[in-house]
Each structure stands twice: as C-alpha cells, then as structure tokens.
Structure 1
C-alpha cells in the first residue's frame, strides 16, 4: 500500500512538472487574447462584434493545426518510446514542412471566401467593413501561430514543456506591449484600430518563431535525411491519427459557427458578449489545455511500452485534478461575474449579458474539461476514431441541441443555461466511455493495434 502511495505521489509530481510550464504559457497566450478583446471593446460594440464573428474561422485554423500536432506528437513520442530516435527526427521535419503548407493553403482559401462566409454567419454591413480591414492581418498572424505551434509540438513530444511555456509568455508580453500602441496609437498617430490587434499578434508570433527555431536547431531534433522515404512510410499511420483528430478539432469551430448564428439573431450586444465569453472560456480552461498538451506524449510513451497500469493511474490523476481545479475556479468566477464583466466590457449592456454567461457557463467547464482530456488521451492511446466520435457527440448531441432549444424557449438566459447543460452531459458521457475502455486495457491494446 505504501509503495502504491509513493508511486502515485511520484506521478503527481511528474504531472505537475510537465504541466505547470504549459499552464503558465497557456495562461499568458490566452490572457493576451482576452486582453485583445478587452482593448477592442473600448473601440465600441461594433468592432467587438466584428471580431467575434471571426472567432469560428480562427478556431477552424487552430483545429487543423492542433489535429496535425496531436498526430505528430503521438508518432514522435511512440518512436522515442520504441528507441527510434532517427525516425523521430524525420517525423519532426515532416510536420514542420507539411504543416506550414497545409495551413498556408487554408489561410488563402479563407481570405478569398471571406465575404460569403461572414454573410452566412449573420454579419451585417457595418461588421463586414470592420472584418474586411481586420481579416488579412489576422490570417497572417494565424499562419505564423500555426508554425510556432508545430515547433511546440516537437518539443512536447520530447518531453520538454518548459521552452514552449517560456515562448508563450514571451510572445504574450510582446503582444501586450504592442496592443495599446497599435490599436489606439500614440501622440498624433491614431493607431490602426481593430487591425492593430492582429498586427501586434503577428509581430509577437514572429519573435517567438525566431527564438524557437534557433532552439530547435540547437537540439538537433530535425533532419533532412530520408524525409521522403519517411513520408511514404508514415503517411498511413499519420493519417490514421491526424484525420480523426482534425475532424475532432474541426467540430468545435463548426459548432461555434452554428452557435454564432443563433446568437446573431439576438443582437450586437449579445454577439459581443458571446465573443468575450469565448475568450474567457479558453483562458479559464488553461490547466485543462496545458494537460491536453503535456499528457498525450507521456501517454504515448506508455502506450509504446505497453504500460497500461500507469496509463490508468495517469488518467485518474489528471481527471481528479481537472474537476477539482475547474469547479473551484468556475464557482469563484461565477460569484465575481459582475466585476469580471465590468473589467472586460466597456458597454453596460454587454457587461450585463456577459455576467449572465459567466454565471452559467464557468462552473460547467469542470465537466467540459473531463471530455477534453478523454478526447486528447484517445488520440495518444490508439483510439482516435472513438475520440472523434466522442467529440462529435459532445457538440452535436449534447451541446448544440441544448443551446438551440434553450434559445428558442427562453432567449438569452436559455442559451446560457442550455450551453451549460450540454457541457455537463458531455462530461458524463466522456467519463462513462473512459471507464469502459480502461476496464479492458489488454483487449483495448490489441484492438487498437489492429486498426481501431
């Protein structure tokens, strides 16, 4: 019994060491995005609403890059667990090259199709004017951010979460320093307004990309040797993980698009409040997001070594931490919702609508965190298809139907309550799925190797 307690304590310490650098990095990265929106809110409700309309498409880019990052981190960590260091270097080079091209093509497509897409999302003429000026620099910064994320994925696959965390903090500090200057100007210069926020982010990501590339080259974790042969060898296992992972990651942007359509029918103040709540959601989930980045490489190495006992202990520990932390934070922010809304929103109507969202949504993120961790673990443990189906069920069976039903019956308060109920249902379903799978680890391991 004492030996088990010692092992659990060692796992907790290791999980903390792996997670806290990423948590600080995620806090810094998402914090500056929230501050971006807070600065933009000072420009008026219309610019903030315009930025809110771009969030689903920005999440689309992030979904593609995260799906690719999940796949490459899983393959690299498994290669390292099997002692194939040369292959891990080839895989690292492949994701940096292919990822840059894929995200680049996506960015160009979103630029060319911007007006039809935003009209379908419900943007009016005023919002389209702001979006047209903002969307170009925002897409450029998104491409730079994707390249940076792929480098972070390589570091995380090798068990190094410190450098990505430090780079996130550095990028965030640069962005925070440039935001007020570029948005509002200084002296006689009036600044760029809404596009200034995107340009500040682009410069911040460029600096982070420069420093991270230098560090990556020094670690010698990439190679130019036999990359094409590795691409031929690895495209099937990569696609087997990346395709379901990307579909899983694309579900939230699609759901966000459908949600913003529902919100757009309620008014500009509601759209602006929903956009701020979306930023606050990602910031409040910083510990969960950090664990979804630090845990999969660790689980992947255990998977490669066939250590299902440690996998079970890791998942129990991670879910316990997630629920306790997220529920405590959610209740605290719900109690402080009027003051949080006052800090984030300049308009009194937006403040009122945002406070309502905070009270309903923030506590429900404890259940959402459970679902996010289970989906993330699934991609690392050889059942990406199940992870994809779970992600789909969360959004299209639990979340969106509850949100739309609540909106139809009770308007804004129904939307907030429906979204919260959907999150709770998703967490319950994810927990049931995980319990079923981990109760049969040996059967699951054989099933995964045979093709999910």
Structure 2
C-alpha cells in the first residue's frame, strides 16, 4: 500500500496540474463569449485522437520496458525505450498533419457553423503543434514511470500547468505591450509551457541514461511484433473514446450552441475529477508489468482489489460533493448564465457516475499491462458503443441535455459493472498450475 501510494501521489499532483490547465483554459475562454467556448469544445473530440495515440504509446512503453526490467534485461530495456520514443514521434507527427488537412470537413461534420469554424481556424494550428510537443513529453514521462520514477513526471506536469496558468490571461486578453490573441492565445500559452516541459524532461532523461543510441535497428527488427502487439490494441482502445466523443458532440450540437459550450466544460471537468484514477492507471501498470514478468499473480489480485476500493470510495464521495456544489461551481467556471445553467443540468448526474467509469478505466489499463490487449480493446468497445453511446442518444431524444447527462451516467454504471466482471473472469485461476499467464491470440 505504501509503495503504491508513493508512486501514485506524485502522478496525482502532476495530473491535477496538467488537467487543471484544460479547465482553466475553458474558464478563461468562456469570458470571450459563448461562440469561442463552443468553438474550443468542438476541437475536444479530435484532441482525444491525439491523446489516444500518446496514451497508447505510453502504455506500450510502461508495459514492455517494465516487463523487460522485471526479467533483468536492463540493456534491452534501454534500446526498447529509444525505439518506442522514435516511433511515437513519427506516428504522432503524421497524425497532426492529417488532422490539419481534414480540419474543415471534420468540424463541419461535428456540427460547427461558419462562425465557429473561423474561430477554430485561428486556434487549431498552434494547438496541433502544442499537442505534438505535449504528447512527446508524455511519452518520456511514461519511460520514467516504467523505470519506477513517478516523481519527475508529476513535478513536470505541475510545472507546465502553472506556466500555462500564468500565460493564459496574458496571451488570451493581452496586457500592456503584449497583444491579446483571443482563443488562439490559449493554444500559444499551452505550446510555450509544453516546450519548456519537454526540454527539461529530455535533459533529465539523458542524465539517467535510460535510452540507447546503438543497436536500435536490430532491436526494432527483433521487437516490432511485440511492440505492435501491445501498442496497436492499446492505441485502438484509447482512440475509441475519440470516436465516441465525436458522436456525442454531434448529438449535443443538435441541441444548440449553448449546450455544446456546456458539454465542453463538462468534459474538461470529467477529466479533472478523474485525477486519482488517471494517476493510478499510470502508476499501477509498471507494478503489474513487473508482477507479470515474475509470475506473481497473487500480488496482482491484491493490488487490483485495493485500487478498486480506492476508486469507488474516492469517486463517489467526490462526485456527491461536486454535485451539491454544482451551482456555485458553474458560476466560477463559466461567465455566461445560459451556459452555466446548462452545466448545472449535467454535473449532478455525471460526476457520481465516474466511480464506475474509473473501474472500467482501471481494468483497461491493467489488462494491457497483464498481457490481455484483446480484452482491453473489447472492453473499450463495449463501454463506449454498447453501454455509453446508445444511452446518451436515447437520453437526448427523450429529455434534451438532461437526458444526455442521465444517459451518460447510466452508460458509466454499466461499463463499470461489465469491466469488473471481465477482469474477474480473466484473472480466474491464473497463478495455479493448470493455467498460464498469457492471453492467447484468440482470447
């Protein structure tokens, strides 16, 4: 318990800062008006695509490198770290270029009107560059986590958040000789903060000597099947939320600009409220990966039962408290009364349901670390396209934005129940003589 807490606490503080700046961005942008806030909200689903790829690569690094270290192959772990960092950079760069080229038709399909699209044009270019830099920083953070160092990633995420917080009002609204860039200023503030964070993290990584410069081509030839076998399902399972977010945004867009703006704030509040869960999904896989490499399945059971209890209790308490404070919180986050009233409809239903969403996220992360990538992908699909989306669509049809909130809560509840049942089925008798630890290709 104490070791898990020491690993998770720095990540919790770091993620609090990193996700906090998304919420702060939205709070500042809301002061520009409903249209800029709605325009920023339309970019959130495509941003999920970027996050999906970077998190998938991070999962691959944490799983592969931690398993290799658990097996005592330190030199190979350094080569693998270098290979995954290089592959991640190229893959993410191609994704950014693609998202820039399809920007107009993509945002039109999501429901953005011409006014919102003109605002998105100002924001999307610098935001894509900032996203690439931030994604590369995240990949390096994952390498640190794989080696058991969660302190530096946590510190750097907090530092970049504070830098963004300081730069946001300056670049959005302007001050003295510094002109205000409006919505685009939020992207420029993030880019500057991420560049500084990536530079510091790269320097620290080189000091640790956890990467190699020789033997990388041969390592890629030897390991590409293992890498893609973990990374591809992880990326796919992490990109499914992006597809889901696009579809939900399109559903909410039919309700009006105010509803889209409120939904954008609610999505940022969701990620911020899941800080502890996200920290656990980052700190737990290296531990599970080492247990996997050593065959310590009883320890896996103990860890999973512990973190599941933590997630349920924490998220339920937090959700109820935030729901009770929905009105003052909406006034703090949103400068527009109509958007604030719409946000109040969403919070009481959605926030408590994140206890069950957290269980689902935890099981998906653990499944990738424990050699069950196919189960992780299946679970992500079931959560989004069987439990969540149908409930949200039906809710919107029956009761507008309130129905969307109720549907989302029901979807999260079902996803948590399904996830834990699948985990219990998978863990079964692992560790006993009659069972093997690795999921078969057809599982």
TM over 0.5: yes
Give the equivalent residue in structure 1 for 2:40.
Answer: 51
Contact 2:17–2:161 (CA under 8 A) maintained in structure 1: yes
1:122 is aligned to 2:104:
no
Aligned length: 441
1:69 is aligned to 2:48:
no
- When normalised by structure 2's length, the TM-score is 0.98
Contact 1:382–1:449 (CA under 8 A) maintained in structure 2: no
CA separation in 1, counterparts of 2:402 and 2:142? 39
Contact 2:56–2:234 (CA under 8 A) maintained in structure 1: yes
1:255 is aligned to 2:244:
yes
Change (3 A) 1:271 1:246: same
Structure 1 residues 5-27: Cα deviation after superposition (integer angstroms, max 9, x where no partner)? xxxxxxx1111101000000000
- Give the 3-state SS of the residue equivalent to 2:214 in structure 1: coil
Change (3 A) 1:444 1:261: farther
Give unmatched runs, 5+ long, in structure 1. 1-11
Q: Which of 386, 389, 394 lines up with 1:397 in the alignment? A: 386
Structure 1 residues 52-451: aligned runs within 5 Å:
52-187=41-176, 189-442=178-431, 445-448=436-439
Superposition deviation, residue 446 in structure 1: 4.1
Structure 1 residues 153-182: Cα deviation after superposition (integer angstroms, max 9, x where no partner)? 100000110000000011011111100000
CA separation in 2, counterparts of 1:183 and 1:149? 25
Structure 1 residues 367-390: Cα deviation after superposition (integer angstroms, max 9, x where no partner)? 000000000000000000001000
Structure 1 residues 7-50: Cα deviation after superposition (integer angstroms, max 9, x where no partner)? xxxxx111110100000000000011100000000000000000
- Give the 3-state SS of the residue equivalent to 1:225 in structure 2: coil
- Give the 3-state SS of the residue equivalent to 1:448 in structure 2: coil
CA separation in 2, counterparts of 1:170 and 1:254? 31
Contact 1:437–1:444 (CA under 8 A) maintained in structure 2: no
Instruction: Say what the alpha-carbon RMSD is for the aligned residues.
Output: 1.1
- Give the 3-state SS of the residue equivalent to 2:262 in structure 1: helix
Runs of 4+ in 1 over 3 A off after TM superposition: 442-447, 449-452
Change (3 A) 1:425 1:226: same
CA separation in 1, counterparts of 2:76 and 2:188? 37
CA separation in 1, counterparts of 2:52 and 2:151? 23
Structure 1 residues 132-163: Cα deviation after superposition (integer angstroms, max 9, x where no partner)? 00000000000001110110010000011000
Superposition deviation, residue 434 in structure 1: 1.3
- Give the 3-state SS of the residue equivalent to 1:191 in structure 2: coil
CA separation in 1, counterparts of 2:177 and 2:284? 50
Superposition deviation, residue 106 in structure 1: 0.6
Give unmatched runs, 5+ long, in structure 2. none
- When normalised by structure 1's length, the TM-score is 0.96
